[in-house]
Amino acid sequence: MLDALLPQLHGFEILAQTQRGERQAFLRVPKAQLFSLLVLLKQGHGFVTLTTIACADWIEDEVFGLTYLLETAGRDRVLGVQTHIGREGDELETCIPLWPQAEIFERELHEMFGIPVVGHPSLGDFMLEGWPHTPPMRREFDTLKFVQENYEMREGREDNRDVRDAIRQLKDAKKAAKAQQESAAQPDNGDAS
């Protein structure tokens, strides 16, 4: 796929490329060229579906790695367009004009990672109503500390159950019920003399 696509992307700085089979590939471009490339891919190359926008927090490099996963109408080609943006204050341009479903993906990026999205119509609370803390998907967010500070611990309470034990008990109960059914379904071969 990249052999056919790359010659048509002259003018774009392709920082990295990966081909995964005939129908899947990834390109990485500078953030400044991201929106222009997305427009070209949708309008000129048939990538009509935005499947998701994934984000990885590379705290050591002080960037977020974003991947826009695109598909053609025939679902015969999948292209991941990747870019890096700074973790602190770097903005992203909305791609809602290209793919309306981007609204949800961008709201999630904003709420879970704190990424500002320029041109987005509604970046208010999405899932975390009134959340005053560090966005929870950023790697510096300390989940254990948050739970300890905000939730009553359940030690000593009768409803405090180890999830693994509860799952094990459910499995054991299902096995016992199945064994009982199988035993009841077998004919009695006792002596009837």
Residue 42 sits in a domain whose CATH number is: 3.30.460.80
If pLDDT is split at 50, 70 and 90, which confidence band does 112 have?
very high
In this predicted structure, what is the pLDDT of residue 1? Answer: 81
In this predicted structure, what is the pLDDT of residue 190? Answer: 60
86 found inside a domain: yes
Q: Which of 110, 14, 123, 5 is nearest to 53 (CA)?
A: 110
* Domain residue limits at 118: 2-128
Work out the mean pLDDT of the chain and round it to a whole number. 90
In this predicted structure, what is the pLDDT of residue 113? Answer: 96
What are the CA-CA distances from residue 88 to residues 67, 81, 187 (Å)? 18, 22, 72
pLDDT > 80? residue 188: no
Mean pLDDT of 155-162: 69
Mean pLDDT of 175-183: 91
In this predicted structure, what is the pLDDT of residue 46? Answer: 93
106, HSE (Cβ side, Cα atoms, 13 Å): 23
If pLDDT is split at 50, 70 and 90, which confidence band does 79 have?
very high
Helix boundaries (H) for 67-162: 102-113, 143-150
Say what the pTM is.
0.76
In this predicted structure, what is the pLDDT of residue 32? Answer: 95
Which amino acid is it at 176? A
The dihedral through the CA atoms of 120, 126, 130, 135 has a sign that is negative
In this predicted structure, what is the pLDDT of residue 60? Answer: 96
For the segment 115-156, what is each residue's pLDDT rounded down to a tens digit? 999 999 998 888 888 888 899 999 999 988 888 888 776 666
Who has greater pLDDT, 93 or 166? 93
Mean pLDDT of 22-29: 94
- What is the rounded distance in angstroms from the CA atom of residue 16 to the CA atom of residue 84? 12
- What is the rounded distance in angstroms from the CA atom of residue 97 to the CA atom of residue 108? 17
104, HSE (Cβ side, Cα atoms, 13 Å): 6
Please give the order of strands across the beta sheet that includes 49-58.
Answer: 16-20, 24-28, 78-86, 63-71, 49-58
- What is the rounded distance in angstroms from the CA atom of residue 66 to the CA atom of residue 83? 5
DSSP 8-class letter at 187: P
What total of structural domains would you count in the chain?
Answer: 1
- What is the rounded distance in angstroms from the CA atom of residue 10 to the CA atom of residue 16? 15
CB contact at 8 A, 109 and 127 = no
134 found inside a domain: no
- What is the rounded distance in angstroms from the CA atom of residue 114 to the CA atom of residue 75? 32
Mean pLDDT of 5-26: 89
Helix boundaries (H) for the chain: 2-5, 31-45, 102-113, 143-150, 163-185
176 found inside a domain: no
